[in-house]
Structure 1
Amino acid sequence: MEPYGSPQWPDPHPPPPSPPPRPPIKHSSIAAILFLFGVLGLVCAGAYFSGELQQFWAGGATQSQGPRPGLVPFGQRQDPVPGLEEADAPLGTPAPLQRTSTSYKFLAVKEDGTPLAYSPCRPIHYVVNSDLAPASWQPLVEEAIRQASLASGLQFIYDGPTSEVPTNNRDGYQPEVYGDRWAPVLIAWTTPEQVPRLTGQTVGLGGSSSIGLSNGYKAYVTGTVSLDAPQFAGIMDSPQGKDVGVAVIMHELGHLLGLDHVNDPRQLMFDEASWVRQYAAGDRTGLAKLGTGPCSKDF
């Protein structure tokens, strides 16, 4: 026996004779093979980083789809990540109506007959440019916001001051200014030189921008309230100036949330200055409908 081995018995099936040795590979052939492997490596690397190779290993090519906002790197998106602050249910409910009225009108109505509105399941953020505002502007805005929120059930959050000025084509998404979300509502005291539509007797303007999704859903995402600073100053210097000032802002917030003018002088949304200082039955009926729209995590 061999050490640590088994006895060497004769092999009944001896191995076939070894083939004659191959001639050595020439250096030029080795270089060609290495070059071919290098090219294949570059092709595979490009396919991997483009996603084609990953799709192959995952089970074949997939149908290309447009990138969702949340999958595109921040700074390259045109919309914020969808569903920010969106709850599963409305954040509030409209105040009970003491009396309903048909004296209201919506600025826009969707195909299903419901009004275009803000989602009641996320707060409406707002900022204020008070550079040209009267010294007592803050309690006026706070009271007007409180009344609009009470009537609609929509919740507002004040994000502080801003230097942004109203423009005709305000961007709804300004990540470099307000971060990765829809821009907050802008409330600003301005002049007819900055906002030509304020020329004449128009004291304020209000309105919102909407987004439409491929599934047909539409909703407001931000807006602007522009107030004529010189005319507003004159209002504040008049008797009952504070009450009139609040009513002016409430009127424009009605437009912001989706109400149009009406021909009924008993409503705050009447298209001319009147003695009305609070939301009336028609205004409240319309605002209550605007505050009970659907939730959506898709925008």
Structure 2
Amino acid sequence: MSWEGRQRRKRARRLERRLRELDRVDAQHGLGTMPWQLPPARRSRTPVFVAGILIVFIAVWVGGQFATGDWRNPFTRSHDRLHPTPPIPDGDGPHAFMATQRDGRTPVTYDPCRTIRLEINPEGAPPDYRNLVEDAIEHTATATGFEFEIVGETDSRRFEQRVFGAATAPPVLVAWADADEVPELKGDVAGVGGSSHLEVRPNFRQFVTGAVILDRDVYARLASNHNRPHAQAIIDHEFGHLVGLGHVKDAGELMNADNVGQTSYGPGDLEGFARLGNVPCR
């Protein structure tokens, strides 16, 4: 057999293995859907500002080759950071990551060499929703060194399918909903947020898309009370979950689940964000 023939057979075997893996993932999870796992909800001690809870998306590994569309293939290596690596402050406070690599130390987060694309569903949003999202982006980008881009608005309400499927990764979805539509918003929960990840190479996981869903009733109440700082704090908290920060038990940190009035990042938050931004490009 010629060299070209051997290579064709090798590629065919590799494709067959990948297709079997896709079949396994589809049978277990359903491509285009991703089950959510939630930690026990914590109630806020203030009737005005309720911190969101973290959505943890179950990860799957898919070994196929993916169409890029207007989103670059995550398996294609990029060499240039979009922004300088942020210095890591000596934070006098705790931080936690929603997921880590196999070493137990390196956080799972987005690729700092790729733009995080977002789209907004304005249905049920407060009047200043665009400013809230843009400010959350600015705060998160400054703390991490990640680059974000709002690519437009959407009428999509398919929150559960905001994952990386068999073709392309949709942009991160930012939207407002109620507990009837998103049961995770029941009780004293003002928002949920998180991302899905893939194992883009052996033993290395990377976020590829996600969602931030905010309680429309809470935001309507905050808007009527002109409580802009708390409205911003909630979405900033959920953007922290989006890029990889988990909850901590410290009232001086914005990533505390039971927020009693903290409206800006604490020292532990800033250290955690900087560590997220210090991951290597992939």
TM-score surpassing 0.5? yes
Letter matched to residue 91 of structure 2: T
Matched residues in 1 for 2:67 and 2:92: separation? 38
SS in 1 for 2:208: strand
Seen in structure 2, the aligned counterparts of structure 1 residues 166 and 191 have a Cα distance that, compared at 3 Å, is farther
Deviation at 1:262, TM superposition (A): 0.5
Matched residues in 2 for 1:83 and 1:98: separation? 29
Deviation at 1:272, TM superposition (A): 1.2
Letter matched to residue 133 of structure 2: V
Matched residues in 1 for 2:102 and 2:139: separation? 29
Deviation at 1:207, TM superposition (A): 0.3
Greater relative CO, 1 or 2 (CA 8 Å, sep 6+): 2
The structure with the largest alpha-carbon Rg is 1
Partner of 2:126: 134
1:93–1:292 Cα contact (<8 Å) kept: no
2:162–2:172 Cα contact (<8 Å) kept: no
Matched residues in 2 for 1:105 and 1:258: separation? 9
Unaligned runs of 5+ in 2: 20-63
Matched residues in 2 for 1:230 and 1:290: separation? 32
Matched residues in 2 for 1:86 and 1:121: separation? 9
Partner of 1:5: none
Matched residues in 1 for 2:165 and 2:6: separation? 37
Seen in structure 2, the aligned counterparts of structure 1 residues 97 and 130 have a Cα distance that, compared at 3 Å, is same
TM-score (norm: length of structure 1): 0.70
Matched residues in 1 for 2:85 and 2:231: separation? 24
1:232 pairs with 2:219: yes
Matched residues in 2 for 1:115 and 1:98: separation? 16
Partner of 1:66: 15
The one of 146, 162, 168 equivalent to 1:170 is: 162
Deviation at 1:156, TM superposition (A): 0.1
User: What does 1:25-64 align with in structure 2 at a 5 Å threshold?
Assistant: 56=2, 58=4, 60=6, 62-63=9-10, 64=13
Deviation at 1:208, TM superposition (A): 0.2
Letter matched to residue 117 of structure 2: H
1:152–1:290 Cα contact (<8 Å) kept: yes
Letter matched to residue 118 of structure 1: Y
2:247–2:257 Cα contact (<8 Å) kept: yes
Deviation at 1:92, TM superposition (A): 1.4
SS in 2 for 1:223: strand
Unaligned runs of 5+ in 1: 1-54, 70-76, 176-180
Matched residues in 2 for 1:231 and 1:289: separation? 31
Percent identity of equivalent pairs: 32
Deviations 1:116-156 (A, max 9, x none): 11110101000000111011111111111100000000000
Matched residues in 1 for 2:252 and 2:197: separation? 29
Partner of 1:292: 278
Matched residues in 2 for 1:288 and 1:217: separation? 19
2:89–2:270 Cα contact (<8 Å) kept: no
2:162–2:173 Cα contact (<8 Å) kept: no
1:93–1:154 Cα contact (<8 Å) kept: no
Partner of 2:100: 109
2:254–2:265 Cα contact (<8 Å) kept: yes
1:268–1:279 Cα contact (<8 Å) kept: yes
Matched residues in 1 for 2:255 and 2:140: separation? 13
Matched residues in 2 for 1:56 and 1:186: separation? 50
Seen in structure 2, the aligned counterparts of structure 1 residues 89 and 80 have a Cα distance that, compared at 3 Å, is same
Partner of 2:67: 80
Partner of 2:190: 203
Deviation at 1:278, TM superposition (A): 1.2
The size of the alignment, in residue pairs, is 229
Deviation at 1:89, TM superposition (A): 2.3
